[in-house]
Structure 1
Amino acid sequence: MTVEVAGTRDLEAETPKPVATPTEDSLPRRFADFETLGAALDYAATGQRGLNFHDARGTLTRAYRFAELRDDAQAMGRRLVAAGIKPQDRVAIVAETSAEFAALFFGTVYAGAWPVPLPLPTSFGGRDSYVEQLRVQLSSCAPVMLIYPPELAQMGADAARAAGTEGIDWAELMQRPAPALTLPRANGDDIAYLQYSSGSTRFPHGVAITHHALLNNLTAHAYGMQLVAKDRCISWLPWYHDMGLVGCFLSPVANQVSTDYLKTEDFARRPLAWLDLISRNPGNSISYSPTFGYDICARRISSQTKASDRFDLSRWRLAGNGADMIRPDVMQCFVDVFADAGFKASAFLPSYGLAEATLAVSIMPPAEGIRVELVEETQLSGVAAGEDRPQRYRAIVNCGKPVKDMKVEIREEDGRPLPERAIGKLWCSGPSLMVGYFRDQAATDACLVDGWLDTGDMGYLSDGYVYIVGRAKDMIIVNGRNHWPQDIEWAVEQLPGFKAGDIAAFAITTPGGEETPAVLVQCRSSDDAERVRLREEIRERVRSVTGMNCVIELIPPRTLPRTSSGKLSRAKARNLYLSGDIKPYDLAA
């Protein structure tokens, strides 16, 4: 006889576990050919696919069909209209990877207003720095309200108060009634959202993107990646960055692709959970990452562990790579580690894009993998090598062909088009370009000229493919010779004990008025003699690459600043160093 004790019933048995939305669906797929983003969700809602949210261990916590998202978003839109939100108002939303943010983003779109995704706090800078970052961005976009998750209520409220706007946590907003009222009807030329780039937040630029521009770029994603019925997206990228927001949230909605999400902070703690999700996907996986994501995974797996014992990456059809300079050495290391688990190098999908073009400018044709060209240093620097220096080459990664409807030109500084294989400024033109920077006509006029966008990046074209050399604004010019900071940083990373993200190189002006490279290196040694030895080793390494004596500074770990997407911010590192906020170790000369 079994006696049931009150309160000991199996709660797990009572609560059914969520079931992921299907990969395949009978709904005919449309490649984002809609008038507005709201219309795209309306169509996706007639099928069975949707968004799936997982915890830090990769366990599914919520399956969110597009139909449920549409219903929640329309209810949220009515709440916002009832709260006084009007068409063209800005609604700032802290972009946590969650069903709540998804409903708020689309709810704002349904209300005719402009959602403005803002970043979550990072581990760098602390509370005050985050509140100030929000305040500056709020001052830029002048929203009617800032909406944030309950766990950030205090910081969100402080930022809203400092910017003179209403702050509310989304749990409270969702408890309000959703009155039966008619939502405004958008058209394709209306602004769909504002996107802040992940760079400096002192003078933020809100990129204004129309529905037409967005959907044109999302169509280009589908054609560029050659989407098929069995494709499923897996992502840990943050939704406050263009690759995460546009590529891994809005594109799956507009192209009706079921998607599995890890939160970015969970990926940072347990990066291999990303590969676990890919392994469990029975269909074809599409998953993007900057170079550092692949690097972290390759480093994290134990040298004593066979990748095939844990992972099955044989169905990873497209391993996208973008958002920073693509490093072929890191990609090769990833292949070396995970080929045993079925990963194919041909799955790599290099691409190039930026928020000002909505996202994608070029995508590698699927199955072509990473293709590299060796470019002689003098072509990058514009100065002939001296007789005392050997020829040096740098590997430049092919970032694919311009996406559907996008044109690319390489131009001289004076705007003249350059021939094939000549390095210059990359300009692009197409229907997915931004309207401009919100409330900053001068900055808009500086980069948008006669329907063409000056991307600020340097590159060249070869046989119709785009090759990116680096950011023009990052270039270090000393004695008429151009030096890319990536070259200096990569050289130092090859020394034992250093890794990607430990080094920042930039130009400074000496007391004598000359420009010289400065190299900040995060050092983990606590021994002064060892630090002195490392500094000299680094100095010699940099001299061998640049032919110059550089300022080498060793700094404490976790000192170098990051952008909201996790990339090194050289500009901010330079400013912090010059202002004395980054304090190098005091070493003997």
Structure 2
Amino acid sequence: MTELCITATPTFNSSPQRLADFATLAEALDYAAEGCTGFNFHDNRGRLLAPLAYVEVRRRALDAARRLKSLGLERGARVAVIADTDPAFMEIFFGCQYAGLVPVPMPIPMSIGGHERYVARLDRLVESCEARVAIAPTHMVRYIEEMPSVDTLAFHGDIEAFRTLPVEEGMTLAPSGPDEIAYLQYTSGSTGFPRGVEIRQHAIMANLRAILASGLAVRPQDRCVSWLPFYHDMGLVGFVLGPMASQLSVDYLGPREFAMRPRLWLSLMTRNRGSIAFAPPFGYDLCTRRLHGSDIDRLDLSAWRVAGVGAEPVLPDVLERFADHFAAAGFDRRAFLPSYGMAENSLAVSFAPLGTGMSLDHVNRDALEQHGEARALDDPEAAEVNATSFVNCGHPLPGHDIIIRDSEGQPLPERHVGRVTIRGPSLMSGYFRDPEQTRKSLGDDGWFDTGDLGYLTSQGLHVTGRHKDLIIVNGRNIWPQDIEALASRLAGINRGELTALAPPEEAPEVDVVVLVQTTLSDEQERAALVKEMAAGIRSEFGIRCTVSLLPPRTLPRTSSGKISRSQARRQYAAQLREAMGAAPTPSAAASS
């Protein structure tokens, strides 16, 4: 029996390239379908499973649109779809575009904390967006079926059951217009329960045009490779909508497959000459830690011209290690492209200059902590003890603006740290069914308060952290990432295994709490780790620190994989309340 041979969609298209100069996503797909490029799905061994040319995506989407409309859904109704890395997601997402409906990508059950917890989270998301339909891959349908709200849905099931729905004869489709909602994008939930961000067609098209033409300077010979989840803005906008709107082919791995075998990502880059790929810092770090020797010998990363970095604070040491580690495979560190963005702005706000790599701004830490001023160091190496560094995320995209403001909302001069506010054509219309939070964040003048802190220089934006994560000790502003960087160096622990927090009310005797995941079981080794870390932090920062050791995979994470400091703080406070009156053992926690 011969094996069916399938081939990926080509890199070079048969139609002239257009960079998102369309009014809507449906118009963009109409044009992409005239060419020969498309989406390519790979399995957990890197084998091509399903090439899906854009012409086929459009055919399936139109069929899905007719079936959705046959359910009697009102225009603008929400369709929840568990966003696994699967061709069925494209079918439903783009089907909604042609039917005048609103797709809502839902997270997959990955690092969320168990079956029941995921079902509860999914149910809450479906209720919050008032979905009328919920569709999942076959192996995930049980999660939808177990939701308490399942009986309120007009339809629920997998893609196979959906395809058996009858189609009303003589139906006329009316795709979503420029002023209608293109999709709801849930935030990662790093500071609370995720909110549904309303992204209208004109907003997403404006962001795609700016990203593709200016931020990435996309070329006809480019090819994308991604493992980013479709429910996250960087995965959805950057590597589903972006390639489609510029008619590029893209190769996919699932996020779980990448986590288990990160070499598959780089192998795909090698095999298909990938030139554009993005990842949060932890993705680059995972590759560095897991690939060695013969793995690197088999790679050729010389075609990789845009190695984007985003979704979480950019860690310079992580990127430097990756560049050094994979230089032998042809990786050029000038490919690094730090960026700044968020779901509320469709995706991107700013990009560093292309082809220049990562640029650091070295500043005086005392001035930063005590006066909120990012004073540049003349000689960073000579003043290393009193220095901290921030990555340049570049200037805002064309048509977009950034202003740094103080607590009263007044603009601040260059090198003064304040709240990052943004304005531009890519902004959301609001949070779905949440007018109060929309008013708090999005002013009548069109400026959006991101909740981030940062400062501007002539080179661009430098993000220093989240406002809610800032640790204030006796009037000093201490950034948690500075503490985390020191703690990881002291203990030789990966940055993704620890977090620094402002202490909850239940711990008034300390200035900062550091939670550390570890596999250490020996009591003496655990006590030594806690003592060394607490003493080192006190010596470096002059603050009182409690270090608490946790089992692996304990720290809560957002849907995008970031550690949720706010949730970790709440969990730590709950544990303190539960153990009130009981003194911690040296192996569990210590103060200095």
Distance change in 2, residues 1:361/1:200 (3 Å): closer
Q: How does 1:162-173 map to 2 (within 5 A)?
A: 164-165=152-153, 166-173=155-162
Match of 2:284 in 1: 294
Q: CA deviation at 1:160?
A: 5.7
Question: Given residue 423 of structure 2, which amino acid in structure 1 is its aligned partner?
Answer: S
Question: Given residue 488 of structure 1, which amino acid in structure 2 is its aligned partner?
Answer: I
Distance change in 2, residues 1:526/1:516 (3 Å): same
Whole-angstrom CA distance in 2 between matches of 1:257 and 1:315: 15
The answer to whether the 8 Å contact 2:510/2:546 transfers is no
Match of 1:353 in 2: 341
Is residue 576 from structure 1 mapped to residue 566 from structure 2 by the alignment? no
Q: How does 1:58-97 map to 2 (within 5 A)?
A: 58-97=46-85
Q: CA deviation at 1:328?
A: 0.8
Question: Given residue 218 of structure 2, which amino acid in structure 1 is its aligned partner?
Answer: L
Match of 1:7 in 2: none
Q: How does 1:351-500 map to 2 (within 5 A)?
A: 351-383=339-371, 392-449=386-443, 450-500=445-495
Distance change in 2, residues 1:358/1:379 (3 Å): farther
The answer to whether the 8 Å contact 2:192/2:567 transfers is no
Q: How does 1:15-414 map to 2 (within 5 A)?
A: 15=4, 17-159=5-147, 161=149, 164-165=152-153, 166-180=155-169, 181-199=171-189, 203-223=193-213, 224-282=215-273, 285-302=275-292, 305=293, 308-383=296-371, 392-414=386-408
Unmatched tracts of structure 1, length 5 or more: 1-9
Question: Given residue 176 of structure 1, which amino acid in structure 2 is its aligned partner?
Answer: L
Whole-angstrom CA distance in 1 between matches of 2:542 and 2:534: 11
Equivalent position SS for 1:324: coil
Q: Could you list the per-position Cα deviations for residues 97-150 of structure 1 after superposition, in whole angstroms to 9, with x for gaps in the alignment?
A: 111001100111211110000100014410011011111111211111211111
The answer to whether the 8 Å contact 2:192/2:566 transfers is no
Q: CA deviation at 1:419?
A: 1.2
Whole-angstrom CA distance in 1 between matches of 2:83 and 2:521: 38
Equivalent position SS for 1:83: coil
Question: Given residue 547 of structure 1, which amino acid in structure 2 is its aligned partner?
Answer: G
Question: Given residue 215 of structure 1, which amino acid in structure 2 is its aligned partner?
Answer: M
Q: CA deviation at 1:487?
A: 1.2
How many residue pairs are counted as aligned between the two chains? 571
Q: CA deviation at 1:497?
A: 4.1
Q: Could you list the per-position Cα deviations for residues 174-196 of structure 1 after superposition, in whole angstroms to 9, with x for gaps in the alignment?
A: 23344441112321010100000
The answer to whether the 8 Å contact 2:13/2:248 transfers is no
Distance change in 2, residues 1:81/1:515 (3 Å): farther
Match of 1:5 in 2: none
Equivalent position SS for 2:496: coil
The answer to whether the 8 Å contact 2:111/2:557 transfers is no
Is residue 559 from structure 1 mapped to residue 554 from structure 2 by the alignment? yes
Distance change in 2, residues 1:159/1:586 (3 Å): farther
User: Paired residue for 2:534, among 532, 536, 539?
Assistant: 539
Whole-angstrom CA distance in 1 between matches of 2:220 and 2:573: 53
Match of 1:4 in 2: none
Whole-angstrom CA distance in 2 between matches of 1:152 and 1:209: 27
Q: Could you list the per-position Cα deviations for residues 430-458 of structure 1 after superposition, in whole angstroms to 9, with x for gaps in the alignment?
A: 01000000111110011111101111111
Question: Given residue 14 of structure 2, which amino acid in structure 1 is its aligned partner?
Answer: S
Whole-angstrom CA distance in 2 between matches of 1:34 and 1:261: 25
Match of 2:377 in 1: none
Match of 2:523 in 1: 528
Distance change in 2, residues 1:130/1:109 (3 Å): same
Equivalent position SS for 2:363: strand
Question: Given residue 203 of structure 1, which amino acid in structure 2 is its aligned partner?
Answer: F
Whole-angstrom CA distance in 2 between matches of 1:343 and 1:430: 34
Q: How does 1:1-20 map to 2 (within 5 A)?
A: 10-12=1-3, 15=4, 17-20=5-8
Q: CA deviation at 1:505?
A: 1.2
The answer to whether the 8 Å contact 1:489/1:505 transfers is yes
Whole-angstrom CA distance in 1 between matches of 2:306 and 2:164: 40
Equivalent position SS for 1:257: coil
Whole-angstrom CA distance in 2 between matches of 1:390 and 1:101: 49
Distance change in 2, residues 1:168/1:218 (3 Å): same
Q: CA deviation at 1:41?
A: 0.5
The answer to whether the 8 Å contact 1:133/1:201 transfers is no
Q: CA deviation at 1:382?
A: 2.7
Question: Given residue 200 of structure 2, which amino acid in structure 1 is its aligned partner?
Answer: T
Q: TM-score, normalised by structure 1?
A: 0.93
The answer to whether the 8 Å contact 1:448/1:454 transfers is yes
Q: CA deviation at 1:561?
A: 1.0
The answer to whether the 8 Å contact 2:504/2:569 transfers is no
Q: CA deviation at 1:201?
A: 8.9
Distance change in 2, residues 1:570/1:478 (3 Å): same
Whole-angstrom CA distance in 2 between matches of 1:356 and 1:493: 32
Equivalent position SS for 1:316: coil
Q: CA deviation at 1:585?
A: 7.6
Whole-angstrom CA distance in 2 between matches of 1:562 and 1:296: 16
Q: CA deviation at 1:494?
A: 1.0
Distance change in 2, residues 1:76/1:412 (3 Å): same
Equivalent position SS for 1:382: helix
Equivalent position SS for 1:209: strand
Question: Given residue 258 of structure 1, which amino acid in structure 2 is its aligned partner?
Answer: S
Whole-angstrom CA distance in 2 between matches of 1:524 and 1:418: 45
Comparing 328-337 with 415-424, greater Cα deviation is found at 415-424
Q: Could you list the per-position Cα deviations for residues 178-234 of structure 1 after superposition, in whole angstroms to 9, with x for gaps in the alignment?
A: 444111232101010000011159633100000000000000111211111110010
Q: CA deviation at 1:544?
A: 2.7
Q: CA deviation at 1:310?
A: 1.1
Question: Given residue 259 of structure 1, which amino acid in structure 2 is its aligned partner?
Answer: V
Match of 1:3 in 2: none
Question: Given residue 168 of structure 1, which amino acid in structure 2 is its aligned partner?
Answer: G
